[in-house]
Amino acid sequence: MSGSCTELRPATPPAPLIDPFGRPITYVRVSVTDRCDFRCVYCMAEDMTFLPKSDLLTLEELDRLCGMFIALGTRKLRITGGEPLVRRNIMNLFKSVSRHLESGDLDELTLTTNGSQLATYAEELAACGVRRVNVSLDTRQRDKFRAITRRGELDKVMAGIDAAQRAGLHVKINMVALKGVNEAEIVPMIVWAHGRGMDLTLIEVMPLGAVGAERIDQYLPLDKVRADIARHFRLRDLDVRTGGPARYSEVEETGGRLGFITPLTHNFCESCNRIRVTCTGTLYMCLGQNASVDLRAPLRAAANDELLEAAIEAAIARKPKGHDFVIDRAHARPALQRYMSVTGG
Ligand code: SAM
Ligand code: SF4
């Protein structure tokens, strides 16, 4: 892998792949590990069996895969997990992929993290051209944080957020809305996040994986949350489209941005621009469907990229139209067996 981290230069972008529904695929999320130092109650079971390390793509293979996606028109890469910052030597991947920012072939390299290791890596990430980071934080109460994450330490995450902001990274907080758990903290979280210049996005819990809890007991529909927030603040809808399931509003009193990710109450699959690759090289064309294509075999079959390119093109040609999650008493089982930590959200 090459390892430079310098300034960005524009270039003519490669044309993106277009799926059967006319959607350009310009955004890839790459999960670099299924492991995590937390066990969030909505994401994982208490006892998880993780993949043998020998099944994982090497960092060099992940780098090659990222390069292939970029050559096929990907403009944005999000590194995720599991917890991406617990993967050994992960900074080598960021350093190497940053060359595509320099060449202008990639607009954005970013990550989603639980923040536990961010104090260690914030400066290095910024030096690699990372400008924005999503940090997951469902509560600012120490004991509740421990209960939700089953093993996380709030102080480390707070130190990570401080370090990220000091390094000049724009931080967006992701908060999963959990019925009866953090409902009362949503308004204070808006005040805190916006007061620190951070956007906040609220997420509806999705029925992925057997986590050992009833989804119906966790699920808090965001239309209800929005109505509660509207009793405290004036919300002005923003015409910001990211090609994802989030819709954004400005909170007039704080001037900050509030996102709503509502895969259950409203899905926005018609504008979906993204695909997801797991740490073993399985490409999922939709977060809410099982349709997948193995990229590890073509990646390993030849040193040139012909097979890999053909496999990616064939996968995009099979991207499903969308998903249809339901959480109610009649749908008690997970919609999909795979945990969110496999694809990284
Ligand atoms: N470990 C990192 C983190 O927590 O930010 C990255 C991976 S995590 C799977 C990505 C995002 O998915 C986090 O914001 C997390 O809160 C969210 N998430 C995990 N399981 C979820 C579920 N079942 N429903 C909705 N969001 C979920
Ligand atoms: Fe780990 Fe992120 Fe899943 Fe929590 S949400 S268990 S931090 S992968």
Distance from Cα 329 to the centre of ligand 2, integer Å:
25
User: How far apart are the C-alpha atoms of 58 and 65, rounded to whole Å?
Assistant: 11
How does pLDDT run across 85-108, given as a tens digit for each residue?
999 999 999 999 999 999 999 999
3-state secondary structure 234-270: CEEECCCCCCCCEEEEEECCCCCEEEEECCCCCCCHH
Question: Is 9 within a domain?
Answer: no
Task: Write down the pLDDT at residue 6.
Answer: 45
Judged against a pLDDT cut of 60, whether residue 318 lies above it is answered with: yes
Beta pairing, strands 257-261 & 246-251: antiparallel
b/e map 114-128, b = 16+ CB within 10 Å: bbbbbbebbeebbeb
Mean pLDDT of the chain: 90
> Within a domain: residue 12?
no
pLDDT score for 219: 85
Segments forming the whole domain that contains residue 250: 17-343
Residue 4 lies in a domain: no
pLDDT tens digits, 269-291: 888 899 999 999 999 988 778 88
CA distance linking residue 83 with residue 31, whole number of Å? 9
pLDDT in tens, 30-72: 999 999 999 999 999 999 999 999 999 999 999 999 999 999 9
Q: What's CA 284's distance to the chain center, in Å?
A: 14
Domain count, the chain: 1
CATH at 122: 3.20.20.70
More confident residue, 324 or 146: 146
Nearest atom of ligand 1 to the alpha carbon of 176: 16
3-state class of 39 per DSSP? Answer: coil
295-324: string of b/e by CB count within 10 Å (b at 16+)? bbebbeeeeebeebeebbeebbeebbebbe
Place of tokens 């996040």: 193
11 domain-assigned: no
Each residue's pLDDT tens digit, 157-169: 999 999 999 999 9
Does 6 reside within a domain?
A: no
pLDDT range class, residue 267, cuts 50, 70, 90: low
CA of 159 to the centre of ligand 2 (A): 18
The token duo for 214 is 């009833």
User: Which pLDDT does position 298 carry in this prediction?
Assistant: 96
Instruction: Please state whether beta strands 246-251 and 235-237 pair in parallel, antiparallel, or not at all (unpaired).
Output: antiparallel
Cβ of 157 below 6 Å from ligand 2: no
Query: Does 265 score more than 80 pLDDT?
Result: no
Mean pLDDT in residue range 281-310: 92
pTM equals 0.92
Tell me, in angstroms, the distance from the centre of ligand 1 to residue 43's CA.
Answer: 6
In a domain, 7, yes or no: no
For residue 331, tell me if it sits in a domain.
Answer: yes
